[in-house]
Amino acid sequence: MRIPKALRNPSLVIGGLIILALVFLAVFAPLLATHGVDQPDMRNRFSLPSAAHWLGTDNLGRDLWSRLIFGARISLSIGIISVTVAALIGTSVGLAAGYFGGWVDMLLMRITDVFLGFPAVVLTLAIVAVLGPGIVNISAAIIAVTWTEYARVVRATTLVLREQNYVQAAKALGASWPRILFMEILPNTLGPIIVLASLGLGTAVIIESALSFLGFGLPPPTPTWGWTLSYGTRFIRDEPWLSIIAGATIMVTVLGFNLLGDGLRDILDPRQLTRLGANK
């Protein structure tokens, strides 16, 4: 029996497995948690991994495994919300800029350049500072710094696609521009968008955890990964385990999304479009 092409790509398989496992843990967190998220156990403070506490406990004796799998729900929720909206905004901007060209392209791409010019962490911090914390506000801040990637890539792809014969043929047959954009061009830009979305989920997890690490994420006792890591730093000299495991969780998650994105890129091959001239 032949193994499908996708399953022969190690990045895709390893990344996919990591993300599948993470989604499974997040979805079934209430069933898989061995203890309550905020259930203290003062006799078992800072315990190392054991049969009772799979990943050990924190300074209040709270079970780290349970806290981390509930934390996965927060990271993934913010990641999915921000990536979906950023992809929608970026794709719309990229499609319009690439298809209409001229002053529309000029204006939209200058706006994109302006947003690209802000360091992501600084702008997200500033936005969260004015809006205040909360899942929606943090997602909005992440969207503000990530939609530009989609806009640039989709614009470049659209520039190539609009010159293709099948698009010209649709135009000649009198198809309206919404029809051409959404029925002819958009489906062919989905490959690069999916790749960017996978990589973008990793970026969202990193930014969200950075905000929580700095204390500007969801307020405690919400068990965000960044906060667990930040909290652990107070005891890092004697009890480094807490910070190490929380940081490793973030890293493995981002690694999963990055590997998945790399694997998807190999399969969907947006470089083929680049070779067609999409990088202009």
Partner 1 sequence: MLAYVIRRLLLLIPMAVGMIVVTFGLLLLVPGDPAAVLLGPEASPEMIANLRRTLGLDDPWYIRLGAYFWQLLHGDLGRSIFQSAPVSEIIGGRIGATIELAVVALLLATLIGVTLGVLAAVRQGSLIDTATMLLAQLGVSMPVYWLGLLLMLAFAVQLNWLPAIGRGAPMPEAIIAALSGRPQVLWDSILHILLPALALAANSAAIISRLVRTSMLEVLREDFVRTAYAKGLRRPRVVVRHALRNALLPVLSVIGLRFGALLGGAVLVEMIFAWPGLGQLTFSAVSQRDLPLIQGIVLTFALIFALVNLVVDLLYALVDPRVRLG
Question: Looking at beta carbons only, is 132 or 174 nearer to partner 1?
Answer: 132
Residue 232 Cβ vs partner 1, minimum distance, rounded to whole Å: 9
How many whole angstroms separate alpha carbon 55 and alpha carbon 66? 9
Residue 137 Cβ vs partner 1, minimum distance, rounded to whole Å: 10
Q: 93: how many CB neighbours lie within 10 A of its CB?
A: 22
Q: Indicate the angle between helix axes 225-232 and 241-268, nearest 10 degrees.
A: 140
| Nearest partner of 184 among 98, 108, 87, judged by Cα | 98
How many whole angstroms separate alpha carbon 256 and alpha carbon 72? 13
How many whole angstroms separate alpha carbon 253 and alpha carbon 26? 12
Question: Looking at beta carbons only, is 4 or 117 nearer to partner 1?
Answer: 117
Residue 125 Cβ vs partner 1, minimum distance, rounded to whole Å: 5
| Nearest partner of 78 among 232, 222, 244, 190, judged by Cα | 222
Determine, following the binding rule CB under 8 A, whether residue 215 of this chain makes contact with partner 1: yes
Instruction: Choose which of 154, 161, 206, 264 interacts with partner 1 (CB under 8 A).
Output: 206
Asked if residue 239 lies in contact with residue 165, where contact means CB atoms within 8 angstroms, the answer is no
How many whole angstroms separate alpha carbon 249 and alpha carbon 95? 36
Instruction: Choose which of 202, 217, 223, 270 interacts with partner 1 (CB under 8 A).
Output: 202
Question: Looking at beta carbons only, is 19 or 181 nearer to partner 1?
Answer: 19
Number of residues that bind partner 1 (CB under 8 A): 43
Peptide bond into 30 cis (omega under 30): no
Amino acid identity of residue 205, one-letter, is: V
How many whole angstroms separate alpha carbon 40 and alpha carbon 20? 30
Dig out the tokens for 146 from the structure.
Answer: 């990530």
Site for partner 1 in 237-276 (CB under 8 A): 237, 240, 243-244, 247, 250-252, 254-255, 258-259
Residue 202 Cβ vs partner 1, minimum distance, rounded to whole Å: 7
Site for partner 1 in 102-141 (CB under 8 A): 110-111, 113-115, 117-123, 125-132
Q: Segment near partner 1 (CB under 8 A), from 20-28, 50-58, 165-173, 232-240?
A: 232-240
Q: What are phi and psi of 39, to 5 degrees?
A: -80, 110
Residue 12 Cβ vs partner 1, minimum distance, rounded to whole Å: 14
Residue 210 Cβ vs partner 1, minimum distance, rounded to whole Å: 6
| Nearest partner of 216 among 141, 105, 161, judged by Cα | 141
How many whole angstroms separate alpha carbon 211 and alpha carbon 13? 30
Question: Looking at beta carbons only, is 11 or 188 nearer to partner 1?
Answer: 11
Determine, following the binding rule CB under 8 A, whether residue 21 of this chain makes contact with partner 1: no
Residue 139 Cβ vs partner 1, minimum distance, rounded to whole Å: 14
Q: Segment near partner 1 (CB under 8 A), from 28-36, 73-81, 184-192, 228-236?
A: 228-236
Binding footprint of partner 1 on the chain (CB under 8 A): 110-111, 113-115, 117-123, 125-132, 202, 206, 209-210, 213-216, 229, 233, 236-237, 240, 243-244, 247, 250-252, 254-255, 258-259
